Structure 1
Amino acid sequence: MSRTAHIALLARYNEWMNNKLYEAASGLPAEELTADRGAFFGSLLATLNHIAVADILWLKRIGGHPRFAAALAPVLALSTPIALDQPLFDSLPTLREQRAWLDRLILDWSAGLAEADLDAVISYRRVNGEANQRQLGLLLLHFFNHQTHHRGQATTLLSQAGVDVGTTDLLLLVPEAEA
């Protein structure tokens, strides 16, 4: 499997898992969504907001590269979050709309990546102003791993609220190998 095929698989997994999380969370009352359960970002809604904030920041950074600016223009037009815990939306339905939009953008953009694109060097600044330069392929591994990390926290928060998300394994999307 090529590197771009791996990225496409991770993008599909990202969308699939986000759909599962948001569907599971949609049955909870607002007070359960915003209850501080001791997670790094406190509540389930705050954790889901953080994932969206980080995705926007990373897509804006990647979109700063001329090769990716046109495809990521819609996210470049968004306001830049100023903090990793910045609440983008105060309700699950509005955050869910943004999440679905982001996931579609990620899927479409990643489907158009060429192997050579993954070697592009992305220059960016972290929220604290620190300058960095890294290869896109490695940044995308971080991008998708970061989502998975915080979705794991979200599944725990849902479990604490009495909601079972079901199977979350990437394996379910990995194609069967031919004998």
Structure 2
Amino acid sequence: MKKLFLYNWQIRTEWFERCQLVPHEELLVNRVGGAGSILYTLYHIVDVEYSWIRGIAGKPDVQVPYEQVQTLPLVRELSDSWHHEVRSFIDNWSSELEHELVDISWNDRPYSQGDILRHLIAHEIHHVGQLSIWMRELGIEPVSASLVDRNL
């Protein structure tokens, strides 16, 4: 699982770089079939990852309203500022915790740590696919999704 988190983080960095080619107004356009706009989707990926990791760790959720980070540099800064905590958690996670149940403040039932981590991996990959489609619609080559061509 750790390798897939490394993959997602590498891809995310490349998406932040690729989105610099997109005019700010286009980043804010509400698009069909996703979380909303390109910028909101990047924000959503970062927010969901951080919230679930803090939930597993038994820490309170941190709410940074999207309205406070509505530029690409601010969303990237948010991602970078939370990454150390997320990375530390993933680096220290062990498969021995796979079936350990945790209560998440915004849900009414417990989940296993392994299921939450797999959800986070799939969640980001899902939204990256949407970003790829939207970039093609804008005439911009999307970030490569290849895992085998990366030195992870």
TM-score of the superposed pair, with normalisation by structure 1: 0.74
The gaps in structure 1 that reach 5 residues or longer are 1-6, 70-75
Pick from 109, 119, 125: which aligns with 2:89?
A: 109
Please identify runs of 4+ aligned residues in structure 1 that moved more than 4 A: none
C-alpha contact (below 8 Å) 1:14/1:103 kept by paired residues = no
Structure 1, residues 109-160: CA drift from partner, whole Å, max 9, x if none? Answer: 211122212232111143xxx4111210121101111111111111212222
2:145 is equivalent to residue 168 of structure 1: yes
Between 1 and 2, higher relative CO (CA 8 Å, sep ≥ 6) is seen in 1
What is the number of equivalent residue pairs in this alignment? 152
Alignment of 1:40-79 (within 5 A): 40-64=34-58, 76=60, 79=62
Distance 2:35 2:91 in 1: 31
* Closer, same or farther: CA 12–148 of 1 in aligned 2, 3 Å: same
Alignment of 1:16-165 (within 5 A): 16-64=10-58, 76=60, 79-80=62-63, 86-87=66-67, 89-126=69-106, 130-165=107-142
C-alpha contact (below 8 Å) 1:37/1:43 kept by paired residues = yes
* Closer, same or farther: CA 10–104 of 1 in aligned 2, 3 Å: farther
Q: How far off is 1:103 after superposition? A: 3.4
* Closer, same or farther: CA 37–114 of 1 in aligned 2, 3 Å: closer
Distance 1:101 1:153 in 2: 24
C-alpha contact (below 8 Å) 1:118/1:137 kept by paired residues = yes
Percent identity at matched positions? 22
* Closer, same or farther: CA 104–14 of 1 in aligned 2, 3 Å: farther
The gaps in structure 2 that reach 5 residues or longer are none
Q: Partner of 1:3 in structure 2?
A: none
CA RMSD of aligned residues (A): 2.3
Pick from 2, 8, 13: which aligns with 1:14?
A: 8
